């Protein structure tokens, strides 16, 4: 270890430390004067809700981008220059959520990319390369054939190869960015085993996860970020699960206290009936029913399968099993036109991708599913379309010059309202919403949720897929999904902590 | 969760046989070439004569050099349409700088020895310019090289006023017609270029970095590969090889037509794709690309010997491309996009 001692700690230099880091992207502040100190030999957790600044910190700690201000050090020494990739790789390695394996090359070549074993002259010696790759994989106990093409590896094997590659550079500080998100239970256990044994041999980890249970299982210290700020750093043992959740969510920032609708009765007829629905690799055997006028939330982490569930219901994905019925009639699986015809309205996850055609007008976007009703023999009457769109602009309080304005010129909140208008255009019996208030301002959020309320009051069954507590507060009940199954149902009147713990998997250990 | 685990397990098991096929893919065209040789021998006794086979090779040298250039560029995940215009432009300008105005030259009267170096330099400069637009200005490679294709062809038409150049310097005609050790010089150059390329892409870090960049450029950058510099180099080499192809073509035909190289890029892509080079980058070998060139050359030669009307060539070449694509879809088992 380096002889430099840090005055703030008697325990010697930390494996890695970031001080007073700030980073902006345009107007958005990604990190605001944050710091983190990872002691040598510990597994340190970094947690925070989406947008807290975790990914930005990772890219700064691995030297992929510079901070606007602040400094990074490893083992008490200042970080190397950004251009010196090799120096960075000797100090820190990261297994990103996005793979840094090159799928078209073999495992062996991936391990030694840009530093292939050389034989005579400066020719690459393939036998030597394969031998060294086998040595590295053997040393770290990774059971993968080095001659295999990397694209054929499973997620687990891919991660192990990346970890072995990091260690073969001599890095003893490794960042794992949500390594468990794509793994199943037994694979997570095997990963933890490996982390523990590596930790015993002196490797330091920064572990990022949305599953708080895992942090209590594997980490000694935890740092919480919220809204680009550092909230706390504490030994895991000194922190209760509730305390951790509270640090992540902060004081309740909710706009709404529940919904304004009358309480649901069990007499209301079932409108949306999902029976045993499953998509291989995403979710399995999901049953749910939404009654007339009811709003049901579905919450869960990114890997829970909730988005795939919604997409299977509306026909964007073809389910492998199960069926969907609307008002008692089965809906043909895997067909969006069939879902529309059956009376399902839909707000997709990403308005830029599936929600809107940016260079078309508000009127064209909002009336897209009902174009056949706008005129005879396939023609479209612009007058009729403008009338309809004007009605939507008023009812959704869309701020625009008029129905002919292009949606690309609208703010995010107003764009989202156009997506909502499109979903409501065919007066659906069942409305499926994925993250309906993602990336919109407070006022638009209020309007959108009011519209959801009003739509339900008119008798529509609403299924709302979201992690936003404000969205979920509108719901009569919330189903929590975890690793592809519904694990809990929470009735209206839940506390934030209760719901977040359920979403983050506390009490539902991923391992068993 | 139980089902999830079991699907993953089957995924591992299924992965093994696919690998063997992926490796065979490099040699997939060798049987096809053998079949073509047999068919050729049956169709016409003259086919297997040394003279005819050398003839096939010589006719494919120019296409082969372009395919080599395009394969390098495709493997690194880029695309260059402008190569076909460089084939005409580079030799035309190099010659025009030498020959007098009376022979449609520019009347600058550069010494004859400048012909070959200037021709190659022009090709390299076109590649350099492509690289500037794609890497510095961050423009779309497809559209950039489409634009350059049109501009460069237009420049050639401009300074030659659409005329063919006949008055070639000796150095040009020499390379196109000379024989070394019983084989045309152009065949030697073609073979040497592929040999260097195959060794570079198989056994040099710089060559391997092309695959890394084409396979996952972010990962390559994170591994310390200077991705922009490598791609720029590849684009310059591509222009250089295109100029070399133009030089050999000019020498073989004894003139530079205003349309020299025109429409060749389609055949270039066909040969590369038949040879297993992926348009998505990171995949394919130069040996495969070479086989693609040979297949197209042999088919053409057999059709000629079998007295098939040349009006049918285009339909047959197109059909070969489609069949090759379907075969690779079946062998790789993966959807193409």
pLDDT tens track for A375-390: 777 777 888 888 888 9
Nearest to A48 by CA among A273, A285, A233, A227: A227
If asked whether residues A23 and A74 sit together in one domain, one would say yes
Write down the pLDDT at residue B300: 87
Residues B279-317 pLDDT 10s: 888 888 999 999 999 998 998 899 888 888 888 888 888
Q: Identify residues of A whose CB sits under 8 angstroms from chain B CBs.
A: 64, 85-86, 89, 98-105, 109, 113-116, 122-124, 126, 147-149, 152-154, 156, 184-187, 280-281, 284, 483-485
Asked whether B205 and B289 are in contact (CB, 8 A), the reply is no
Distances (CA, A) of B144 to A14, A369, B123: 50, 38, 16
Statement to judge: residues A324 and A200 lie in one domain: no
Same-domain status, A196 and A236: yes
Is A239 within a domain?
Answer: yes
A265-268 long-range CB contacts below 8 Å, 24 or more apart? A266/A291, A268/A292, A268/A293, A268/A294
A43 occurs within a structural domain:
yes
Tell me whether residue A338 is in a domain: yes
Please say if the pLDDT value at position B219 is more than 90.
no
Tokens, residue B121: 């330099």
- Give a yes or no: residue A399 inside a domain: yes
> Are A281 and B4 an interchain contact pair (Cβ–Cβ within 8 Å)?
yes
> How buried is A93 (Cβ within 10 angstroms: 0-12 exposed, 13-18 middle, 19+ buried)?
buried
CATH of the domain at A37: 3.40.50.300
Q: Which pLDDT score is estimated for B89? A: 96
Cα-Cα-Cα-Cα torsion A475, A481, A486, A492, nearest 10 degrees, comes to -20
Residue B103, C-beta contacts closer than 8 angstroms, at least 6 positions apart = B165, B166, B167
Tell me the C-alpha distance between B62 and B88, whole Å. Answer: 12
* Structure confidence at residue A501 (pLDDT): 80
Q: Which domain holds residue A221?
A: 16-99+170-179+188-248
How does strand A295-299 pair with strand A477-482?
A: parallel
Compare all CA atoms of chain A with the CA of B12 and give the residue at the minimum distance.
Answer: A154
Give the pLDDT of residue B191: 95
Same domain, A175 and A300: no
DSSP B46: G
- Same domain? For A401 and A355 the reply is yes
Of A64, A124, A149, the CB nearest to B205: A124
Q: For position A509, what pLDDT does the model report?
A: 41
* Partner A, chain B 211-270, Cβ-Cβ below 8 Å: 211-212, 214-216, 218-220, 222-225
pLDDT tops 80 at residue B159:
yes
In a domain, A510, yes or no: no
Q: Beta A28-38 vs A16-25: how paired, if at all?
A: antiparallel
**Nearest-neighbour CA in chain A from B218: distance (Å):** 7
Contact A510, A180 (CB under 8 A): yes
Q: What is the pLDDT of residues A216-247, one digit of tens each?
A: 889 999 999 888 889 889 998 888 877 887 88
Evaluate if residue A11 carries a pLDDT over 60.
no
Q: Taking a C-beta distance cutoff of 8 angstroms, is the pair B271, B293 a contact? A: yes
Whether the predicted pLDDT of A6 surpasses 80: no
CB of A356 closer than 8 Å to CB of A407: yes
CA-nearest of B62, B82, B72 to B125 is B82
Residue written as tokens 């995403």? A282
State the residue for tokens 């107007």: A27
Q: What is the average per-residue pLDDT within A332-356?
A: 87
Distance (Å) of CA B315 to CA A470, B23, B300: 62, 31, 12
Query: Is A333 inside a domain boundary?
Result: yes
Nearest to B1 among A109, A113, A484 (CB): A484
Tens of pLDDT, residue by residue over A149-191, are 888 888 888 888 988 888 888 888 999 988 887 777 778 888 8
In this predicted structure, the answer to whether residue B68 has a pLDDT above a threshold of 90 is yes
Total domains in the fold of chain A: 2
Query: pLDDT higher for A432 or A470?
Result: A432
pLDDT for res B24: 58
The residue among B172, B4, B241 whose CA lies nearest residue A281 is B4
Q: Pull the structure tokens for residue A52.
A: 């807290």
What is the rounded CA–CA span in Å between residue A49 and residue A159?
23
CA distances to A69, A226, B35, B40, B305 from B302, in Å: 69, 72, 12, 6, 5
Asked, for residue A71, whether it belongs to a domain, the answer is: yes
B210: left (phi over 0), alpha (psi -120 to 50) or beta: alpha
Q: Are the beta carbons of A184 and B1 separated by less than 8 Å? A: yes
Q: What is the pLDDT of residue A330?
A: 92
- A330 shares its domain with A455: yes
Distance (Å, whole) CA B160 – CA B106 = 8
Closest Cα to residue A348, out of A323, A369, A322? A369
Contact assignment for A113 to B212 by CB distance below 8 Å: yes
Q: What is the pLDDT of residue A3?
A: 40
* Residues whose CB falls within 8 Å of the CB of residue A416, separated by 6 or more in sequence, listed in order: A351, A355, A436, A437, A438, A439, A440, A444, A448
C-beta atoms of A104 and B215 within 8 A:
yes
Place of tokens 């208008």: A421
Could you tell me the CA-to-CA distances from B228 to B60, B116, B220 in Å, in that order? 32, 29, 11
Tell me whether B332 touches chain A (CB under 8 Å): no
Secondary structure E strands in A362-443: 430-434
CATH number belonging to domain B25-39+49-332: 1.10.3470
- Within 8 A of B283 by CB-CB distance, chain A residues are 104
pLDDT grade, residue B332 (50/70/90)? low
Quote the CA–CA distance of B146 and A371 in Å, as a whole number. Answer: 38
Q: Could you give the CA distance from residue B160 to residue A292 in angstroms, rounded to a whole number?
A: 78
A274 three-state secondary structure: strand
Identify whether residues A290 and A409 lie together within a single domain.
yes
Is the pLDDT assigned to residue B12 strictly greater than 60? no
CA B244 to chain centre: 11
Beta bridge partners of A25: A28
Using pLDDT thresholds of 50, 70 and 90, give the confidence band for residue A465: very high
- How far lies A206's CA from each of A15, A46, A80, A167, A203, in Å? 10, 7, 19, 14, 10
Query: Residue A45's beta-bridge partner residues?
Result: A207, A222
Please identify which residue in the block is written with the tokens 């250039």.
Answer: B69
pLDDT of residue A204: 94
Query: pLDDT band at residue B15, thresholds of 50, 70 and 90?
Result: very low
Residues of chain A neighbouring B212 (CB-CB closer than 8 A): 102, 105, 113-114
pLDDT at position A20 over 70 = yes
DSSP string spanning B300-333? HHHHHHTT--GGGHHHHHHHHHHHHHHHHHHHH-
Q: Is A440's pLDDT higher than 80?
A: no
**Highest-confidence range of A257-261, A264-268, A379-383, A401-405, by mean pLDDT?**
A401-405
Output the DSSP codes for B68-115: HHHHHHHHTT----THHHHHHHHHHHHHHTTS-GGGT--S----GGGH
Is a pLDDT exceeding 90 seen at residue B103? no
- What is the mean pLDDT of the segment spanning B165-181? 86
Measured in degrees and rounded to the nearest 5, phi and psi for residue A456 equal -65, -40
- The interface pTM score, or ipTM, of the predicted complex is 0.78
Question: Quick one: pLDDT at residue B133?
Answer: 96
Asked if the model's pLDDT at residue B231 lies above 60, the reply is yes
Q: What is the mean pLDDT of chain B?
A: 86
Same domain, A302 and A382: yes
The pLDDT of residue A258: 56
Are A111 and B218 in contact by the 8 Å Cβ rule? The answer is no
Residue B18 pLDDT more than 50? no
Asked if the model's pLDDT at residue A339 lies above 80, the reply is: yes
pLDDT over 90 (residue B168): no
pLDDT tens column, B116-153: 999 999 999 999 999 999 999 999 999 999 999 999 99
Cα–Cα distance, A384 to B146 (Å, whole number): 43
The residue among B193, B215, B201 whose CA lies nearest residue B72 is: B201
Record the tokens describing residue B174, joined without a space: 């020499």
**What are all long-range contacts of A150-155, with beta carbons under 8 Å and residues at least 24 apart?**
A150/A101, A150/A102, A150/A103, A150/A104, A150/A105, A150/A106, A150/A107, A150/A110, A151/A103, A151/A104, A152/B15, A152/B16, A152/B18, A152/B19, A153/A101, A153/A107, A153/B15, A154/B8, A154/B11, A154/B12, A155/A182, A155/A183, A155/A187
* Residue A162 token pair: 């990346």
Dist. CA B99–CA A276, nearest whole Å: 81
Say what percent of chain B tops pLDDT 70.
90
How far A185 CA lies from chain B's nearest CA (Å)? 8
- Output the pLDDT for position B8: 37
Task: For A470-489, write each residue's pLDDT tens digit.
Answer: 888 889 999 999 888 898 88
One domain, residues A310 and A227: no
Q: Are residues B222 and A105, on separate chains, in Cβ contact within 8 Å?
A: no
A156 contact partners, CB below 8 Å, separation of at least 6: A183, A187, A190, A191, B8
Higher pLDDT, A329 or A352: A329
A256 vs A147, higher pLDDT: A147
- Whether B5 shows a pLDDT value over 60: the answer reads no
pLDDT at A200 over 80: yes
Residue A477 placed within a domain: yes
| Residue A205 scores a pLDDT above 90 | yes
| DSSP code string of A86-115 | HHHHHH-EEE-SS--S-TTSBHHHHHTTTS
Backbone φ and ψ for A207, nearest 5 degrees, come out as: -115, 120
Looking at per-residue pLDDT, the higher value among A243 and A345 belongs to: A345
Average pLDDT over residues B69-78: 96
Reading phi first (left if > 0) and then psi (alpha if -120 to 50, else beta), residue A466 is in beta
| Same domain, residue pair A243 and A335 | no
The verdict on A228 and A307 lying in the same domain is no
Residue A238 sits in the same domain as residue A276 = no
> Mean pLDDT across chain A, nearest whole number?
84
Between B19 and A359, name the one with better pLDDT: A359
What global pTM score does this model have?
0.73
Residue with tokens 């149902």: A489
Minimal Cα distance from B14: which residue of A?
A152
Q: Which residue would you say has higher pLDDT here, A445 or A223?
A: A223
Nearest CA-CA partner of B90 in B59, B58, B116, B62: B116
Sheet strands side by side (includes A221-226):
A93-95, A173-177, A204-208, A43-47, A221-226, A229-235
Those residues whose C-beta lies under 8 Å from the C-beta of residue B154, and which sit 6 or more positions away, are: none
Question: Quick one: pLDDT at residue A396?
Answer: 87
């Amino acid at each position: 270890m380096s002889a430099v001692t840090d005055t703030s700690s008697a325990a010697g230099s930390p494996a890695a430390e970031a001080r007073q880091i700030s980073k902006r992207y345009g107007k958005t502040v990604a990190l605001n004067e944050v710091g983190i100190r990872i002691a040598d030999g510990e597994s340190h957790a970094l947690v925070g809700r989406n947008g807290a600044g975790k990914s930005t910190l990772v890219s700064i700690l691995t030297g992929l981008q510079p901070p606007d201000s602040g400094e990074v050090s490893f083992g008490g020494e200042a970080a190397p220059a950004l251009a010196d990739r090799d120096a960075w790789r000797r100090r820190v390695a990261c297994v990103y959520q996005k793979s840094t394996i090159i799928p078209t090359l073999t495992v062996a070549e991936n391990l030694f990319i840009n530093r292939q074993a050389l034989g005579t002259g400066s020719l690459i010696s393939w036998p030597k390369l394969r031998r060294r790759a086998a040595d590295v994989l053997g040393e770290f106990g990774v059971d993968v054939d080095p001659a295999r093409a990397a694209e054929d590896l499973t997620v687990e094997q891919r991660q192990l190869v990346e970890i072995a590659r990091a260690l073969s550079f001599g890095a003893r500080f490794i960042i794992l960015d949500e390594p468990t998100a794509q793994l199943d239970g037994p694979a997570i256990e095997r990963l933890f085993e490996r982390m523990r044994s590596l930790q015993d041999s002196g490797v330091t980890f920064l572990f990022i996860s949305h599953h708080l249970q895992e942090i209590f299982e594997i980490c000694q210290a935890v740092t919480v970020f919220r809204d680009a700020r550092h909230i706390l750093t504490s030994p895991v043992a000194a922190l209760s699960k509730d305390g951790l959740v509270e640090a992540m969510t902060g004081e309740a920032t909710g706009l709404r206290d529940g919904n304004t609708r009358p309480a649901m009765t069990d007499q209301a007829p079932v409108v949306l009936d999902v029976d045993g629905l499953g998509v291989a690799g995403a979710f399995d055997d999901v049953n749910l029913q939404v009654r007339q006028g009811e709003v049901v939330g579905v919450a869960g982490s990114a890997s829970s399968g909730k988005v795939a569930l919604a997409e299977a219901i509306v026909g964007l994905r073809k389910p492998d099993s199960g069926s969907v019925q609307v008002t008692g009639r089965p809906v043909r699986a895997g067909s969006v036109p069939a879902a529309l015809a059956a009376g399902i309205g839909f707000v997709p996850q990403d308005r830029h991708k599936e929600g809107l055609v940016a260079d078309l007008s508000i009127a064209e976007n909002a009336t897209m599913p009902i174009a056949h009703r706008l005129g005879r023999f396939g023609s479209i009457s612009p007058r009729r379309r403008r009338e309809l769109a004007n009605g939507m602009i008023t009812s959704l309080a869309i701020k625009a010059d008029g129905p002919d304005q292009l949606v690309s010129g609208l703010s995010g909140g107003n764009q989202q309202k156009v997506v909502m208008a499109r979903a409501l255009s065919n007066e659906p019996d069942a409305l499926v919403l994925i993250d309906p208030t993602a990336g919109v301002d407070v006022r638009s959020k209020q309007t959108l949720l009011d519209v959801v309320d009003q739509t339900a009051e008119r008798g529509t069954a609403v299924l709302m897929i979201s992690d936003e507590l404000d969205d979920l507060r509108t719901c009569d009940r919330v189903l929590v999904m975890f690793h592809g199954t519904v694990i809990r149902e929470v009735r209206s009147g839940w506390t934030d902590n209760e719901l977040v713990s359920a979403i983050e998997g506390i009490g539902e250990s991923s391992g068993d | 969760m139980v089902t999830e685990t079991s699907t993953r397990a089957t995924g591992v098991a299924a992965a093994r046989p696919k690998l063997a096929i992926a490796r065979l893919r490099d040699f997939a065209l060798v049987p096809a070439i053998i079949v073509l040789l047999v068919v050729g021998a049956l169709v016409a006794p003259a086919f297997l004569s040394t003279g005819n086979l050398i003839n096939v090779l010589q006719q494919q040298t120019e296409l082969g050099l372009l395919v080599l250039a395009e394969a390098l560029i495709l493997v690194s995940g880029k695309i260059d349409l402008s190569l076909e215009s460089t084939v005409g432009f580079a030799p035309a300008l190099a010659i025009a700088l030498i020959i007098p105005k009376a022979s449609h030259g520019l009347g600058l009267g550069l010494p004859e020895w400048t012909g070959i170096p200037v021709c190659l330099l022009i090709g390299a400069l076109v590649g350099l310019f492509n690289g500037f637009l794609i890497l510095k200005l961050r423009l779309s490679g497809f559209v950039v090289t489409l634009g350059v294709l049109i501009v460069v062809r237009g420049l050639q038409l401009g300074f030659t006023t659409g005329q063919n150049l006949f008055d070639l310097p000796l150095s040009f005609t020499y390379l196109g017609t000379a024989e070394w050790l019983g084989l045309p010089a152009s065949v030697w150059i073609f073979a040497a270029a592929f040999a260097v390329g195959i060794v570079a892409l198989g056994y040099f870090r710089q060559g391997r970095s092309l695959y890394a960049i084409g396979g996952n450029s972010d990962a390559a950058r994170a591994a310390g590969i200077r991705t922009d510099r490598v791609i720029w180099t590849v684009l310059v080499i591509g222009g250089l090889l295109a100029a070399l192809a133009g030089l050999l073509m000019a020498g073989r035909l004894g003139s530079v037509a205003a349309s020299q190289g025109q429409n060749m890029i389609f055949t270039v892509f066909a040969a590369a794709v038949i040879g297993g080079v992926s348009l998505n980058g990171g995949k394919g070998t130069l040996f495969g690309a070479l086989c693609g060139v040979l297949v197209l050359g042999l088919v053409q030669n057999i059709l000629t010997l079998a007295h098939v009307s040349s009006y049918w060539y285009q339909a047959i070449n197109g059909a070969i491309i489609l069949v090759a694509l379907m075969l690779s879809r079946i062998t790789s088992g993966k959807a193409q996009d």
